[in-house]
Amino acid sequence: MPNAAACERARLTRDRRFDGLFFTAVTSTGIYCRPVCPAPAPRRDNVRYYPSAAAAAAAGFRPCLRCRPEAAPGSPLHRARSELVAGALRLIEQGALDAGSLPQLARRVGVGERHLRRVFAEEIGASPLDVAATRRLLFAKQLVGETALPMTEVAQAAGYASLRRFNAAFSAAYGKAPREIRRSRDALANGGSGEWTLRLPYRAPYDFAQLAAFYARRAIPGVEAVDATAYRRSFVADGVPGWFAVEPLPGEQALALRVHHPRSGVLGPLAARVKRMFDVDADPRAIAMVFRRSPVLAPLIRRWPGQRLPGAWDGFELAVRAVLGQQVSVAAARTLAARVAAQYGTPYADGAAAGVGVLFPTPERLADAPLETLGITRARAQTIRTLAAAVHDGRIAFRPEQPLAEFERDWVALPGIGAWTAHYVAMRALAQPDAFPAADLILRRAAGQGRTLTTRELEALGESWRPWRAYAVMLLWRAS
């Protein structure tokens, strides 16, 4: 969180760079706001600053109806200082505390409940339960304001156990029933026939064109479709196929997520995954503060200030794509991935018109597949089969709470998987901001500025880039 003086300046000037980095609570009204709130600025002695919406809510303040905290970019995840808190936050974003308990969450991240509460208080300013409750409330408010979903479906999509609990929480927070909030014609027009559009706000700058170009070079035909203005892909949620599209909203610091799926209950988990995939919660200012101290990265971050991590929708799909890309060009790996999808994927007729009429094959489908017939070398075909079997039987997983070192250890134990592949998968599938495939030849050349560094030399150089080494990887790849 910025210091009090910076918060005060940002509040008085309504500086959008700080939107979502802290929240302003007003003791005279009992309301908390974004620093860009258009309401008249309150007196300084009535203002309190909090690092997250959850912290402000835990202190007894209600969200502002005017500046809409649910529309703020960023989340506590990007400000976690430890892998423990980051892993727990990823689980909370996936709904771990909607149906599960705090002791269960603590066990999943490998600590006691008391210790988890303590580190959350230190890093986030709120308890895990407070974070989960605020996430549910703000997402429900977004669905009420932006869609025509029935309130029962809003409650389900936001993670509430019942409509009664949703109504009680909403009324307590906003002083009004949900139906009194929904007055927008746009909202009433959004949500028919299994199609919804949600805003995903980000903190500028955001280089969507570069992100789209990265995806376009690696898109699996039939599964993904990318052009200069949008990304589309097929997916399966709750055992039912669907497809979504992501594109910038003109004139706004936000992306539009357009979802085509028959079940509205998937919106919460899907939006969380897409936000990670498109890295909308990143804080470019914090990343730039670290990189400006590096002679290697300073000119790159000035040239491309809106760099984001290109995440992945599905970890297994990305891992197969990474194995196919070992020691071959990006284009060659894309061709092989297209053959795998066409041969072993599942046709999806409803997505065909959008160019995403194929569902990528599941681990079960590839565990015994004779991939050599598709032109894949015997060694890589066997690696993919081993990988598919390990994912299928649970020996390896894409659990969001696992530390980077643990993920790397489990992956390099598989035949044909090295540290480069493990870190590349962690960087994109788990959105690990500090993943660092230091053995990469292009990275070692780009960072050496005239000579090729050894892997050990690059690792030593990269220590000063923590905890954002994955962003350094993207900048160096882009520069080369």
In this prediction, residue 191 carries a pLDDT of: 60
Proportion of the chain above pLDDT 70, given as a percent: 97
Cβ atoms of 425 and 419 within 8 Å: the answer is no
Cβ atoms of 171 and 177 within 8 Å: the answer is yes
124: confidence class by pLDDT, cuts 50, 70, 90: confident
Q: Which of 19, 283, 314, 440 is catalytic?
A: 440
Query: Order of strands across the sheet with 62-63?
Result: 47-50, 23-26, 31-33, 62-63
Residue 440 annotated to the active site = yes
User: 183-231: per-residue pLDDT in tens?
Assistant: 655 555 566 668 999 999 998 999 999 999 999 999 999 999 999 889 9
403: confidence class by pLDDT, cuts 50, 70, 90: confident
Provide the token pair at 339: 């053959």
Provide the token pair at 145: 């304001």
Sign of the CA dihedral with 106 first, then 108, 109, and 111 last: positive
**Helix pair 404-412, 419-429: axis angle to 10 deg:** 130
In this prediction, residue 129 carries a pLDDT of: 95
In this prediction, residue 181 carries a pLDDT of: 82
Residue written as token pair 């991939």: 371
80 pLDDT higher than 80: no
User: Rounded mean pLDDT of 121-130?
Assistant: 91
The DSSP-derived string for 60-118 is TPEEPTTT-GGG----GGGG--SHHHHHHHHHHHTTHHHHS-HHHHHHHHTS-HHHHHH
In this prediction, residue 369 carries a pLDDT of: 97
Q: Tell me how far apart the alpha carbons of residues 325 and 327 are, in angstroms, rounded to a whole number.
A: 6
168 pLDDT higher than 80: yes
Question: Helix (H, G, I), strand (E, B), or coil: what is residue 33?
Answer: strand
Q: Which of 7, 19, 33, 283 is catalytic?
A: 33
User: 225-282: per-residue pLDDT in tens?
Assistant: 999 889 999 999 999 999 999 999 999 999 999 999 999 999 999 999 999 999 998 8
User: 327-367: per-residue pLDDT in tens?
Assistant: 889 999 999 999 999 999 999 999 999 999 999 999 999 99
Q: Tell me how far apart the alpha carbons of residues 36 and 58 are, in angstroms, rounded to a whole number.
A: 21
| Mean pLDDT for all residues in the chain | 92
400: confidence class by pLDDT, cuts 50, 70, 90: confident
pTM: 0.91
User: 32-45: per-residue pLDDT in tens?
Assistant: 999 999 999 999 99
Number of Cβ within 10 Å of residue 269's Cβ equals 17
439: confidence class by pLDDT, cuts 50, 70, 90: very high
Nearest to 330 by CA among 425, 218, 427: 218
Residue 227 annotated to the active site = no
